């Protein structure tokens, strides 16, 4: 047996008498190390994470993403003996600080912690790479010079049945064009682990990249995922004992690989999905099952997958099966390697799934705070304006009462017309912004508690060729969340202003969609068209500087519409 330890670059750093991991992720490399005779072996003292098979020697053989160990100990030194192919990569968390452990071939001992003073450490060591890339691994034992403390399992439990999206494929990449390598995987940053983490739930990721319900990506003949429901290890005949992990919630996030390359046949997919749900229910009669569609399928393929899921659910008529659509983030890191969801998309998906589970299970879900970034396809000048103007908005004092204006450059223009609107005004207009961008900065809006909020957004989406749904969807979500958090605020959704003749058909399409959003969310729709349109439907020249933006007279017309609403909400002192 070879003894290895971490390199000095990953050693604990001394600061004010405390020893902490370096803030930047580190890689633990193999170096010779002597084991002190005072160390005592603590075989089986850790809590296994994920499914496993006990070996004849008492080790835990594992293979699923994010499987590994958790333990708490008080001491100076912690090591673990692991058997691996020599290609596996582990994620090591020590008191929340992350580092990377690249395993050597064969059975080796790895120094995970080495501290000059005794301290209490919470440790998780989990698999980053998938079994099809790097094979299985076995945690033979852990050794500590101190006291290993009890590590009770969380009460809530969630089981995920999924593919590469659930496994965190390529998540360490920042673009859809980055080259995949096993080290780019990040199951701990997948939507599944993020959502479960917000609930404080223990999770099992039964996920393999490229697998489907009835058909795998690229005609891979390996077993499809429903055949893995009982498996203790990926693609292995060893059966898992369900009594060791009884999930409260099961998330079935499959279908992308069935439809991404070729049509598996609707009837075959429907029946396969129905059988999968039936088998899950038979094994876990008390669990709530969530079916997931998206987020990578588009158009007809997306609709086909949803059709199969809905058909299966209708056939079973199980009240404890629900469904949710997950969507990518349009801001920040939308993509990871090879067109997989990026890290911000994973956060967005986790929030959507978490909110759905919370509603179904009556659990509390504190949403993950998303970074506020401009839409990914915004022009460079627009991104610059977004960033600079957002900094200004963050400096605005919190509004209690008064009026909040949310929108793009047309709304931002009120800054130079300060005497036209009555009462206290908080201007959240950002030039170049789109519906997605407005939704992204919802957290800044929710700092305030205005009497009324006026929303005007969408005209910039025309230049990016966005569909009406790409405008209406984020606006609807924005209103629903704002209404939930600030129910005392009266929200008004305004129509997009007229503009040049070539854009008028799309303006009308957008406005029809926005009017429907207002009706669906119960807010008032203000149609500004009649006040600003010339006889040919374009923006009146006497109210505009360039056929798109308003001049002072235009803002006076707008003020005449808004001020009666603002004044009607004033409460007596």
Q: What is the CATH number of the domain that holds 522?
A: 3.40.50.1110
**CATH number reported for the structural domain that contains residue 99 in this entry:** 2.60.120.260
Q: Is residue 372 part of a domain?
A: no
Residue 41, pLDDT score = 43
pLDDT digits (tens, 9 = 90+) for 173-199: 999 999 999 999 999 999 999 999 999
User: What is the spatial distance between Cα 210 and Cα 224, in angstroms, rounded to a whole number?
Assistant: 9
Q: What is the mean pLDDT of residues 302-309?
A: 96
Residue 36, pLDDT score = 39
Q: Do 26 and 134 have their domain in common?
A: yes
Q: Do 105 and 227 have their domain in common?
A: no
Residue 204, pLDDT score = 98
Give the lowest-confidence range in 59-63, 148-152, 176-180, 381-385: 148-152
**249 in helix, strand or coil?**
strand
**pLDDT greater at residue 41 or residue 531:** 531
pLDDT digits (tens, 9 = 90+) for 202-216: 999 999 999 999 999
Give the pLDDT band (50/70/90) at residue 570. low
Give the lowest-confidence range in 6-15, 29-38, 357-366: 6-15
* Domain count within the chain: 3
Give the pLDDT band (50/70/90) at residue 18. very low
- Domain end position, chosen among 361, 395, 424: 361
**141 in helix, strand or coil?**
strand
Q: pLDDT at residue 60 above 60? A: yes
Q: What is the mean pLDDT of residues 564-573?
A: 75
Q: Is residue 332 part of a domain?
A: yes
pLDDT digits (tens, 9 = 90+) for 260-289: 988 999 999 999 999 999 999 999 999 999
User: What is the spatial distance between Cα 66 and Cα 230, in angstroms, rounded to a whole number?
Assistant: 18
User: What is the spatial distance between Cα 379 and Cα 386, in angstroms, rounded to a whole number?
Assistant: 10
Q: Do 174 and 127 have their domain in common?
A: no
Give the pLDDT band (50/70/90) at residue 373. confident
Q: Which of 357, 153, 152, 350 is nearest to 250 (CA)?
A: 357
515, with CB counted inside 10 A (0-12, 13-18, 19+), is: middle
Angle, helix 191-199 to helix 343-361, in steps of 10 degrees: 40
Residue 481, pLDDT score = 86
**221 in helix, strand or coil?**
coil
Residue ranges of alpha helices (H) inside 319-362 are 343-361
What is the H or E stretch that residue 198 is in?
helix 191-199
User: What is the spatial distance between Cα 515 and Cα 508, in angstroms, rounded to a whole number?
Assistant: 10
Q: Do 184 and 139 have their domain in common?
A: no
Q: Do 347 and 415 have their domain in common?
A: no
Q: Do 320 and 285 have their domain in common?
A: yes
pLDDT digits (tens, 9 = 90+) for 242-259: 999 999 999 999 999 999
- Domain end position, chosen among 305, 327, 361: 361
Residue 560, pLDDT score = 98
User: What is the spatial distance between Cα 295 and Cα 353, in angstroms, rounded to a whole number?
Assistant: 12
Show Cβ contacts of residue 282 under 8 Å, excluding neighbours closer than 6 positions. none
Reduced 3-state DSSP string for 79-131:
EEEEEEECCCEEEEEECCEEEEEECCEEEEEEEEEEEEEEEEEEEEEEECCCH
268: its two tokens = 């075959």
Q: Do 210 and 106 have their domain in common?
A: no
137-144 and 40-41 strand pairing: antiparallel
Residue 32, pLDDT score = 30
Instruction: Tell me which residue has tokens 């003020």.
Output: 559
Q: pLDDT at residue 29 above 60? A: no
11, with CB counted inside 10 A (0-12, 13-18, 19+), is: middle
Q: Do 284 and 223 have their domain in common?
A: yes
CB-CB contact of 252 with 292 (8 Å): yes
- Domain end position, chosen among 149, 178, 195: 149
Q: Where are the beta strands (DSSP E) in 271-364?
A: 288-293, 321-325, 335-336, 340-341
**pLDDT greater at residue 294 or residue 37:** 294
Q: Is residue 370 part of a domain?
A: no
Q: Is residue 375 part of a domain?
A: no
Average pLDDT of the chain is 90
Residue 367, pLDDT score = 86
Give the pLDDT band (50/70/90) at residue 378. confident
CB-CB contact of 193 with 205 (8 Å): yes
Q: Do 398 and 531 have their domain in common?
A: yes
Q: pLDDT at residue 34 above 60? A: no
Angle, helix 468-485 to helix 504-521, in steps of 10 degrees: 30
CB-CB contact of 406 with 491 (8 Å): no
pLDDT digits (tens, 9 = 90+) for 452-507: 999 999 999 999 999 999 999 999 999 998 998 899 999 999 999 999 999 999 99
Q: Do 139 and 162 have their domain in common?
A: no
Give the pLDDT band (50/70/90) at residue 151. confident
Q: Do 493 and 551 have their domain in common?
A: yes
What percentage of residues in the chain have a pLDDT greater than 90?
82
Residue 8: strand pairing partners: none
User: What is the spatial distance between Cα 475 and Cα 480, in angstroms, rounded to a whole number?
Assistant: 9
Give the pLDDT band (50/70/90) at residue 25. very low
Instruction: Tell me which residue has tokens 């199951």.
Output: 187
User: What is the spatial distance between Cα 141 and Cα 474, in angstroms, rounded to a whole number?
Assistant: 50
Q: Which of 258, 159, 165 is nearest to 214 (CA)?
A: 258
Q: Give me the domain span that covers residue 403.
A: 380-568
Q: Is residue 46 part of a domain?
A: yes
Q: Which of 530, 511, 514, 510 is nearest to 479 (CA)?
A: 514
Q: What is the mean pLDDT of residues 59-63?
A: 97
Q: Do 397 and 532 have their domain in common?
A: yes
């Amino acid at each position: 047996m070879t003894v290895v330890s971490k390199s000095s670059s990953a050693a604990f750093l001394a600061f004010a008498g405390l020893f902490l991991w370096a803030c930047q992720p580190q890689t633990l490399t193999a170096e010779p190390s002597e084991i002190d005779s005072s160390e005592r072996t603590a075989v089986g003292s850790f809590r296994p994470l994920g499914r496993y098979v006990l070996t004849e020697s008492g080790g835990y053989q594992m293979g699923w993403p994010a499987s590994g160990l958790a333990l708490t100990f008080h001491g100076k030194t912690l090591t673990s003996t692991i058997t691996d192919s020599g290609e596996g990569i582990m994620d090591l968390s020590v008191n929340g600080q992350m580092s990377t452990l690249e395993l050597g071939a064969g059975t080796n001992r790895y120094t995970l912690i080495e501290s000059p003073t005794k301290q209490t450490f919470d440790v998780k060591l989990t698999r980053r790479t998938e079994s099809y890339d790097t094979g299985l691994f076995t945690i033979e034992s852990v050794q500590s010079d101190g006291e290993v403390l009890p590590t009770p399992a969380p009460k809530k439990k969630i089981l995920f049945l999924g593919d590469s999206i659930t496994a965190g494929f390529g998540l360490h990449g920042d673009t859809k064009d980055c080259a995949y390598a096993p080290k780019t995987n990040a199951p701990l940053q997948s939507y599944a682990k993020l959502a479960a983490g917000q609930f404080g739930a223990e999770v099992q990721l039964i996920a393999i990249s490229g697998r489907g319900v009835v058909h795998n990506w690229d005609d891979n003949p390996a077993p499809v995922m429903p055949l893995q429901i009982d498996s203790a290890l990926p693609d292995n005949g060893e059966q898992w004992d369900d009594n060791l992990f009884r999930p409260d919630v099961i998330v079935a996030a499959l279908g992308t690989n069935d439809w991404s390359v070729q049509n598996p046949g609707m009837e075959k997919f429907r029946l396969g999905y129905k059988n999968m749900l039936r088998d899950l229910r038979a094994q876990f009669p008390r669990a709530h099952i969530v079916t997931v569609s998206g987020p990578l399928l588009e158009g007809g393929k997306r609709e086909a997958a949803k059709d199969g899921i809905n058909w299966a659910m209708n056939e079973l008529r199980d009240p404890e099966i629900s469904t949710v659509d997950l969507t990518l983030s349009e801001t920040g890191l939308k993509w990871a390697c090879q067109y997989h969801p990026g890290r911000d998309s994973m956060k967005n998906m986790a929030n959507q799934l978490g909110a759905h589970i919370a509603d179904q299970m009556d659990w509390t879900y504190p949403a993950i705070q998303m970074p506020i970034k401009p839409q990914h396809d915004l022009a460079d000048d627009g991104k610059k304006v977004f960033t600079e103007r957002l900094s200004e908005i963050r400096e605005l004092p919190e509004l209690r009462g008064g009026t909040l204006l949310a929108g793009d450059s047309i709304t931002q223009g009120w800054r130079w017309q300060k005497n036209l609107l009555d009462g206290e005004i908080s201007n959240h207009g950002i030039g170049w912004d789109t519906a997605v961008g407005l939704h992204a900065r919802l957290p800044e809006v929710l700092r305030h508690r205005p009497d009324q909020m006026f929303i005007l957004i969408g005209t910039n989406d025309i230049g990016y060729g966005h569909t009406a749904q790409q405008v209406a969807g984020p606006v609807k979500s924005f209103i629903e969340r704002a209404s939930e958090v600030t129910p005392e605020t009266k929200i008004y959704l305004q129509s997009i202003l007229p503009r040049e003749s070539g854009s008028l058909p799309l303006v009308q399409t957008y406005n029809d969609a926005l009017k429907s959003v207002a009706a669906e969310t119960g807010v008032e729709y203000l149609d500004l068209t009649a006040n600003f349109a010339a006889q040919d439907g374009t923006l009146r020249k006497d109210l505009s500087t360039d056929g798109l933006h308003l001049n002072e007279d235009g803002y006076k017309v707008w003020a005449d519409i808004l001020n009666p609403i603002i004044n009607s909400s004033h409460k007596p002192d």
